[in-house]
Amino acid sequence: MNSLKTYAGIPEQYSVLDRAQVVLISVPYDGTSTWQKGADKGFDAFLEASANMELYDIETNSEVYKKGVFIAEPVTENSSPALMVEQVHKTVKKYLQKNKFVTIFGGEHSISIGTIRAFKECFKDLTVLHLDAHSDLREEYNGSPYNHACAVYEASKTTNLIQVGIRSMDSSEVETMNKDQVFFAEQMIFDDSWIDRAIDMMTDTVFITLDLDVFDPSIMPSTGTPEPGGLLWNETIEFLNKVFKEKNVVGFDIVELCPNPSNKAPDFLVAKLYYKMLSYKFSRRDYDDFLDSDLIEFGKKQDKKKEQIELNDDEL
Ligand SMILES: [Mn+2]
């Protein structure tokens, strides 16, 4: 049972609401998925994998779990897609109002309609950074606007939506799509300037919605609708690191883990991805209450990295 577990097996003192800066809400919802079912099992697989992970992050020289991660009561409403979305919206908002860094774990992508709505109401000039193989811009699908195929339609109307990794869409979505703010996977492989161009399009305040099928199925086969030609690990975290460094990321959701009990590597990838994103968030140099010693070490490391980058540029 989730209630007996903590994220990544962290000591209980870091998992209570009062002390935790991070809230993790699971939405084990799989009501509208159209192909492989199982996204409702994602959170447990993620949690189990997370308990087997090292808690020191080499890259940021930090142990972000000390910021505290509270696992909220899961959103289990599933009597209709509309009610599920409303319940997600309410729950996310409740924790945002407590000034927590709110993260949400699916479930399938329709849950993001509720998460984005809550963030949109709490933050001005919101950018939604959408990483996905699919454009998810249908106004409705199978008779509902709360289908996974419609996950960011509302965001396309109400926020600054930037889409990354897209490689599958329907012709009916062409009109809704703002092509100037879409980075198609086919183009990204030939030109890595997409990283800076995408960041330049963002406002300061960013919410990230990450559908795991944005990754290549070679490293992320455990998802409802895998698509060939996706992102690999290093380029993805390099991009995310830069986004967290340059923008104020106010929260994120991760969706569509559809675990396969005989291959736990994808579950582990997701556990590590979540931890990386928290590490990037909280080890930013200007983050006020980061321990002084950590801060100095981190600063040194960043300078070194900068030198290295400049060196590499010279070589070119
Ligand atoms: Mn997708």
CATH (domain of 101):
3.40.800.10
CA 211 / ligand 1 centre spacing (Å): 5
Computed over every residue of the chain, the mean pLDDT equals: 89
Predicted pLDDT at 284: 64
Over residues 213-235, the mean pLDDT reads 97
Decide which of 278 and 315 is more confident. 278
In a domain, 315, yes or no: no
In a domain, 126, yes or no: yes
CB 147 within 8 A of CB 140: yes
CA 91 / ligand 1 centre spacing (Å): 24
CA 167 / ligand 1 centre spacing (Å): 10
Main-chain dihedrals φ then ψ at residue 303, nearest 5 degrees: -60, -40
Over residues 103-112, the mean pLDDT reads 96
Counting residues of the chain whose pLDDT is more than 90, the rounded percentage is 82
What's the number of domains the chain is made of? 1
Full residue range of the structural domain in which residue 52 is found = 2-307
In a domain, 313, yes or no: no
Length of the chain: 316
CA 308 / ligand 1 centre spacing (Å): 35
List 205's β-bridge partners, or say none: 126, 248
- pLDDT band of residue 289 (cuts 50, 70, 90) is very low
Predicted pLDDT at 296: 39
In a domain, 113, yes or no: yes
Strands (E) across the chain are located at 22-27, 69-71, 101-106, 126-131, 160-166, 182-184, 205-211, 248-255
In a domain, 166, yes or no: yes
pTM of the entire predicted model: 0.88
In a domain, 283, yes or no: yes
In a domain, 314, yes or no: no
